[in-house]
Amino acid sequence: MDRKLLEILEGDGRLSTKQIAMMLSKEEGDIKKIIDEYEKNGVILGYKAIVDWDKTDREYATALIELKVTPQYNRGFDAIAERIYNYPEVQSVYLMSGSYDLCVILEGKTIREVALFVAQRLAPLEAVQSTATHFVLRKYKDKGVIYGPANFDERGNCN
């Protein structure tokens, strides 16, 4: 039941506890309690909308930056990761296996802003050995959602 609840919320974070209770044939109070618990212990970290900024007039650049870094004695990659993820422009930081160490996803107003961030904030860090910045040219799909025109219900009434 808990897994079902999390899957429901992961699919649509805007559902009310009442709706979820009905979907699972449970009491609303119980659902509230479980969600509160998840929010407290950090299983549920937040709720966000998925925005396609390309459909607005806001300029919005996304970049994926590969970082090779020197791990720190005793703290491994955690210290440098923390240093980086605390910048609000940074959307995601992943520790990777393979040819580089940290994958940093940056979102900024413009390409220039992103470039400056890499040059002024990331590259000078002592632990950073090298950076490779890749700009996203177009988002086709993010977080399981396809970026494109809104879906219309084209199903025919047949039976």
Partner 1 sequence: MDYNKFLSDKVRTIKPSGIRKFFDMLSTMKDVISLTVGQPDFPTPYHISNAAVESITKNKTYYTSNSGLIELREGISDYLSRRFDLHYAANGEIVVTVGGSEAIDMAFRAILNPGDEVIVPEPCFVCYSPLIEVMGGVSVPLYTSVEDKFKVTPEKLLPLITDKTKAIVLSYPSNPTGAIMTKEDLEAIAPILIEKDILVLSDEIYGELTYGRDHVSIASLDGMRDRTVMVSGFSKAYAMTGWRLGYVCAPKEIMDQILKLHQYGIMCASTASQFAGVEAITNGDEDVKYMKEKYDRRRQYVVTRLNEMGLECFEPEGAFYVFPRIDSFGISSEEFCQKLLDEKRVAIVPGDAFGTGSEGFARISYAYSIEHLTIALDRMEEFVKDLKK
Residue 12 in the binding site for partner 1 (CB under 8 A): yes
Which helix H or strand E contains 95, and what residues bound it? strand 90-95
For residue 84, give every residue at least 6 positions away whose Cβ sits within 8 Å of its Cβ, in sequence order, or none: 67, 90, 93, 102, 104, 122, 125
By CB under 8 A, residue 1 contacts partner 1? no
Number of residues binding to partner 1, judged by CB under 8 A: 15
8 binds partner 1 (CB under 8 A): yes
| 43 counts as binding partner 1 under rule CB under 8 A | no
| Closest listed residue to residue 106, CA positions, set 114, 98, 97 | 114
C-beta of 86: minimal distance to partner 1 in Å? 36
Residues near partner 1 (CB under 8 A) are 4, 8, 12, 15, 19, 22-25, 153, 155-159
